[in-house]
Amino acid sequence: MENEIQTFLSDIKKINLRIKEYLDKNQVISKLKSIEEKMLQANFWQDKEKSKKTLKEKKLLEEISSSHLNIESELKDAGELFELANSENNHEILSDLKINLKNLKKTVKQNEIKCFLSNEADSLDTYIEIHAGAGGTESQDWAQMLRRMYVKWAERKKFKVGLISEHTGDEAGIKSSTIKIEGDYVFGWLKKESGIHRLVRISPFDSGARRHTSFASIWIYPLVNEDIKIDIQEKDLRIDTYRSSGAGGQHVNTTDSAVRITHLPTKIVVQCQNERSQHKNKETCMNMLKARLYDYEIKKKEEESQNTESIKSEIGWGHQIRSYVLQPYQLVKDNRTNFESTSPEKVLDGEIDEFLEQSLYNLND
């Protein structure tokens, strides 16, 4: 037990030191003072969007810095208690201390993850595009399962979810869907989810109860705000209107209100059909296009655009970032971090935080 406690103490100390390096490198204390000074200015609250963004940044920086100080204090107390309990051979105190340190390690790791959410786009809301791969009903059902997973995750976080567009499958599921999620640091949390997701299961659509493998692609990009300027030329756009598709009934539009915009230089396509007004759908499309172009430029700067586009172009073998196996065994495995879960039903019900955290750790190794 003594060795385990010493390991916990050492691990927590190392992580908290990395957080201190982040705080010092990014001059967090002086940033907070600067934000507080800005908030005292008479015109601070006039621009609601800008003030909202500033308050969000302040909240995150305060959480990181205050948690760092609290952990530093708890670590010192734990170290002293360990020395005392160990010298007196008090196993009851040592047992309680081990449990407390295990929880403290979880807290300090969560605090470190917040440090990873400090890039320019991380605080933004996000769009999620879901596309079924080849395989008809099987893949379309899988695409719908993935959409449900992200919606459930967002609901657990008390985030706001909106449907932008959807093309339903011929028999079940969806061919494609775009949803918008609004909440604190949504893009930062989900940015590494882009890629191919693979499902292995006994097909509910196969009368022979055979095992099937299905693929679907996920595409994550940030919902940009007015502070980010993206130049879009009218001559570079092709705008098409079409009739909205849906499950049928009185709520399906009978006019050509759905809008599709193609950005010719990059071949980026966005579409929206959630509003009855063509004007509103076009406005949403333009916002989505702005977001996609911003994401495209980020990837270009990181020299990842070629790799990303090649991944998106082929929804099948060899490109999957995560596998979800329901038969013949139960396992969800991330192919980039090697993180695993033997509870796929929980993962598909939106419990994906551990996968997201591991991706963030991997990104910052």
Which domains, ranges and CATH numbers included, belong to the chain?
2-115 (1.20.58.410), 125-363 (3.30.70.1660)
Separation of alpha carbons 288 and 3, rounded Å = 53
Average pLDDT score over residue span 104-109: 93
**pLDDT computed for residue 295 by the predictor:** 82
The SS3 of residue 158 is coil
- The pLDDT of residue 253 is 40
Looking at per-residue pLDDT, the higher value among 104 and 306 belongs to 104
Mean pLDDT of the chain: 87
Quick check: 358 pLDDT over 50?
yes
**Nearest-angstrom CA–CA distance, 184 and 161:** 13
Query: Residue 146's closest CA among 164, 160, 159, 133?
Result: 133
Please determine, for residue 86, whether its predicted confidence score (pLDDT) is greater than 80.
yes
Share of the chain above pLDDT 70, in %: 89
DSSP-assigned states of every residue in 59-81? HHHHHHHHHHHHHHHHHHHHHHH
Per-residue pLDDT reduced to its tens digit, 1-60: 889 999 999 999 999 999 999 899 889 999 999 999 999 998 998 888 788 888 888 988
Cβ atoms 211, 200 nearer than 8 A: yes
Give the whole-angstrom CA distance, residue 212 versus residue 138: 8
**What pLDDT is recorded for position 255?**
56
The per-residue pLDDT for range 141-191, each reduced to its tens digit, is 999 999 999 999 999 999 999 999 899 988 899 999 999 999 988 999 999
How many Å apart are CA 238 and CA 267, to the nearest integer? Answer: 10
Interaxial angle between packed helices 2-25 and 28-39, expressed in degrees from 0 to 180 and rounded to the nearest 10: 50
Instruction: Decide which of 185 and 340 is more confident.
Output: 340
Helices (H) and strands (E) in the chain, counts: 10, 11
215-229, 255-269, 348-362: the lowest-pLDDT one: 215-229
In whole angstroms, what is the distance from residue 358 CA to residue 309 CA? 24
